[in-house]
Amino acid sequence: MKSLDYELKDNHGELLSRFYKLFESVHRYVTDLQRYLKDLEEGQYIQISLESIFLDEDGKQLLVRVMKQNFFILSMISILLSV
Q: Which residues contact 50 (CB under 8 A, 6 or more apart)?
A: 37, 40, 41
**pLDDT tens-digit series, residues 17-72:** 888 898 999 999 999 999 999 999 999 998 999 889 999 999 999 999 999 999 99
Q: Is 22 exposed, middle or buried (0-12, 13-18, 19+ CB in 10 A)?
A: middle
